[in-house]
Amino acid sequence: MNDSVKEVIIRGTAFGKFVLHWGYIPLIIYIGYKSSYPRPPLARIFSPMA
């Protein structure tokens, strides 16, 4: 395999890891928020006490 292709793959997986690491939980929250019919108030999602 070409060295340049390897470089691209390595950088791509590093970027993918970064996106997954910080974006996965916001993605779940967004999907869950949009799909629940009585829209839960945002405070209920983020605060343990509400």
Residues that bind other proteins (CB under 8 A): 1, 6, 9-10, 13, 17, 20-21, 24-25, 27-29, 31-33, 35-38, 40, 44-45, 48
Residue 1 CB, shortest distance to other proteins, in Å, is 7
d(CA 22, CA 27): 9
d(CA 49, CA 36): 20
Residue 31 CB, shortest distance to other proteins, in Å, is 5
Residue 25 CB, shortest distance to other proteins, in Å, is 4
